[in-house]
Each structure stands twice: as C-alpha cells, then as structure tokens.
C-alpha cells in the first residue's frame, strides 16, 4: 500500500502561495520601517558627530541575530549573515547619502541629473549609472557616448552633470584608457561604485557553441573571458564600443551564427536570449566605476572617504619609495598604485594613487604638504565617499 503520510499537506498549494505573498508584504513593510529608522540614526549622528559606521555595534548586532535565529527559529547562520550584510550595507549607504546631502545642499536640491556613460542602454556603464544614482533618489537624463573621451567631454562642456567611467576590473585589471584620460581632464572624481559583472553569451535564438562564427563584444569582456574564448574553435572576435552595442549588432544581423558577450538582463532589452552563462575567467568578477563632475564635492567627516591623486617623481633612484614612506609615516592606507607613461615625455611616468583618507584630515594635509616638496607634479583628482561597504566580520561555527 502506498504511504500517503509523507505527502499529506495541511494547506493547498494556492493557500500556501497566498500565505507566502502575505509574508513577503510584511517583510517589505518591515524593511521600509527599518530604513526609516536608519535615517533617524543618521539624524542623531549629526548632533553627536559620530561616524556612520560602528564596527563593534555591527558585530554585536550580527552575533545576536545569528544566535537568536539559530536558537529561536532554526535558521542557518550563513543565511542570516548573508541577509543582514545586505541590510547593513543598505543602512550605511542611506546614512552616508543623508549626511552627504547636508554637506552638499545644492546637490540635494537637484532631483534630476544628466549622466553620460559609455555605450547604449544595457551596457555595464549604463547599469552602473542607474545603480549609483538610484541610491541618491535621483532621476536621470541618460546620455550614451561612443568612447571614454566623449564621456569626459560631455561633462566638461556642461552638457552632462556627471560621467560614469569604468576604471578597473578584478579579472582584466586597470582600464588604461581611462587612467590616461584622467591625466588631462579638468574633472573631479566625486563618487565610486563597484558592480558585479556577470558575463554570458547571448544570441537571437538557441544555438550550439560550435555554430557560432562571429562573437561581438567590447575588448574588456574579451579579456575577462579569455579562457572560455580560447576553447571556441574558428570563432571570429569582433570589437564594439560597448557590450550594449555588441548586443544591438547581433540583433540587427538577425542571424543564427552570431552571438555577443553581455549581461543576461541587458540582453532581454534587445530581444536576445542567454545561451551560455558563467563564462568569465573569475567567478568573482567586479568592475569599479568612478563618477566624475566639473566641481568637487564636500565629504562629511563622519563618512569613510577616499582621496585619489596623481603625481610624478624625479628620475632618481628611490624617489617613488620616498613618497610611499611619507604615506606610511602618517598611517594612510594606499588601496591602489598605478603607473602610466606621460605623453610627450619618454621614459617618464605618472602615478595614480587611491588613499583611504579624508582630504581635509590632518594626516592627509600633512602628507600632501610633504609630497608637494618632493614631487615634480601633484594633483588631487578628488575626495569622495567610499561606497564599498566592507562586510561586518563574525566567526561562524
């Protein structure tokens, strides 16, 4: 006789779905209320001048949540940690945005912004633009550009308020064309964003990999997916101005022997379907974008900040080491050091440095004073809020 005990259900599938919908609505309401409380916390910190992040408080909160979740609700520690890392990150960014609006009231009065980015709608730069400004509750007038220099020119000329530029990728490294552009621009870096890059192959219809004759993409995804592409025999690689332009090209050709490297959700904008995912060399593939504008922003002293500068040193041995020792002496952490040739000056290089420091802090001002004396050229490209929120660390059993 068939054992029906295991299949007996207390509720019908329809009843279960209705209850899940109710629970989801309750979760949304609670998340909204929690966001409101996060803003209240930010308001209180204005009075006390406390920094946005309190690592000890966050750690205690997370440990308590993990213990309660395990003991009271039989929830997995990994699940709780992943969920509340997202919630804490959102809370931190909300509070930073609130404090930044106080420090830059003219920006908070502009709910509409013109933003220039590389490629058409659906490019990674377009996705990064929307992600960054969604945190600011800012509506966008989107201006797509054909190359990086056009992005900078559009902002410099006043036709756009902001520009969004990719500057480095965890797989393919620094985007040299953007670094070279920063040597000559009058723009300032006013923000940053790190976006997860999820490369896949998209095509007009389902097809086998061996049927692909031509593959379109921007050169950066080509480099980031080089290991996968090396296994495709006889496929011609064609470069486009952006991943969005590559997907649009495939759609226009309307052939069953072409594909593009892009993002699955962006592919849907062009009526394309994914045929192969997870094609990047690294599973953790992220691109860091910078936001540039004609004027610098004021950064609240309560917010973790980054300062980016460029400098050139003398040709004498040990000159670069001497500059780095100054940063070490003042306890300033360097997160990026990139060298690029100086156009017109053979064998000379410009160094780009990202520092975890507020420009107006005493250690940073003292370091700049000393660096100015020993460098041939030094320019601050910008001081801006650090929006890469490092997860609160707890030891899981």
Q: Which residues contact 371 (CB under 8 A, 6 or more apart)?
A: 311, 323, 326, 378
Cβ contact 151:117 at 8 Å: yes
Residues 96 and 123 reside in one and the same domain: no
Residues 180 and 231 reside in one and the same domain: no
Cβ contact 204:256 at 8 Å: yes
Cβ contact 299:256 at 8 Å: no
41-45, 103-107, 172-176, 351-355: least confident range: 103-107
Number of domains the chain is built from: 4
Q: Which residues contact 153 (CB under 8 A, 6 or more apart)?
A: none
Instruction: Note the pLDDT tens digit of each residue in 288-336.
Output: 999 999 999 999 989 999 999 999 887 777 888 999 999 999 999 999 9
Q: Token pair for residue 116?
A: 């220039």
Instruction: Note the pLDDT tens digit of each residue in 348-362.
Output: 788 999 999 999 999
The kind and range of the H/E element at 128 are: helix 124-134
Q: What are phi and psi of 114, to 5 degrees?
A: -95, 120
CATH number at residue 122: 3.40.190.10
Residues 188 and 204 reside in one and the same domain: no
What is the pTM for the complete model shown?
Answer: 0.81
CATH number at residue 330: 3.30.70.260
CA nearest to 192, candidates 291, 261, 262, 284 = 291
Can you name the residues that pair with 260 across neighbouring β-strands?
Answer: 202, 216
pLDDT at res. 1: 43
Instruction: Judge whether 10 lies within some domain.
Output: no
SS3 (DSSP) at 230:
coil
pLDDT at res. 2: 47
Domain boundary among 292, 324, 340: 292
Residues 191 and 210 reside in one and the same domain: no
Cβ contact 183:340 at 8 Å: yes
Instruction: Judge whether 263 lies within some domain.
Output: yes
What's the distance, CA 370 to chain centroid? 32
Domain that holds residue 81: 33-103
Residues 85 and 138 reside in one and the same domain: no
pLDDT at res. 6: 53
């Amino acid at each position: 006789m068939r054992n029906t005990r295991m299949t007996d259900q207390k509720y019908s599938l329809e009843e279960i779905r209705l209850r899940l919908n109710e629970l989801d609505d309750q979760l949304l309401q609670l998340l909204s209320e929690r966001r409101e409380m996060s803003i209240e916390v930010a308001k209180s910190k204005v009075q006390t001048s406390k920094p946005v992040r309190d690592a000890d408080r966050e750690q205690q909160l997370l440990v308590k949540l993990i213990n309660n979740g395990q003991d009271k609700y039989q929830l997995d520690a990994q699940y709780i940690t992943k969920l509340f890392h997202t919630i804490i990150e959102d809370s931190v960014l909300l509070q930073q945005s609130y404090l930044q609006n106080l420090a830059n009231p003219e920006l908070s009065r502009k709910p509409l912004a013109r933003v220039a980015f590389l490629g058409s709608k659906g490019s990674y730069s377009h996705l990064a633009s929307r992600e960054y400004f969604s945190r600011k509750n800012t509506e966008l007038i989107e201006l797509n550009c054909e190359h990086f220099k056009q992005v900078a020119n559009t902002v410099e000329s006043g036709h756009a308020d902001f520009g969004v530029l990719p500057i480095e990728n965890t797989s393919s490294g620094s985007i040299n064309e953007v670094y070279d552009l920063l040597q000559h621009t009058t723009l300032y870096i006013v923000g940053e964003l790190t976006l997860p890059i999820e490369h896949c192959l998209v095509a007009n219809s389902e097809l086998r990999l061996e049927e692909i004759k031509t593959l379109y993409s921007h050169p950066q995804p080509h480099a980031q997916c080089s290991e996968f592409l090396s296994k495709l025999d006889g496929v011609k690689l064609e470069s486009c101005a952006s991943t969005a332009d590559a997907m649009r090209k495939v759609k226009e050709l309307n052939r069953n022997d072409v594909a593009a490297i892009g993002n699955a959700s962006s592919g849907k904008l062009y009526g394309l379907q994914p045929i192969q995912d997870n094609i990047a060399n690294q599973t953790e593939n992220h691109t860091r974008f910078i936001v540039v504008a004609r004027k610098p922003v004021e950064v609240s002293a309560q917010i973790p900040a980054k300062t980016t500068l460029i400098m050139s040193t003398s040709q004498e041995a040990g000159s670069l080491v001497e500059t780095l020792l100054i940063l070490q002496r003042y306890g300033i952490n360097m997160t990026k050091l990139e060298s690029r040739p100086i156009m017109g000056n053979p064998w000379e290089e410009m160094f780009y440095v990202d520092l975890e420091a507020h420009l107006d802090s005493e250690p940073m001002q003292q370091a700049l004073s000393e660096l100015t004396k020993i460098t041939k050229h030094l320019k601050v490209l910008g001081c801006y809020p650090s929006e890469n929120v490092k997860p609160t660390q707890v030891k899981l059993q």
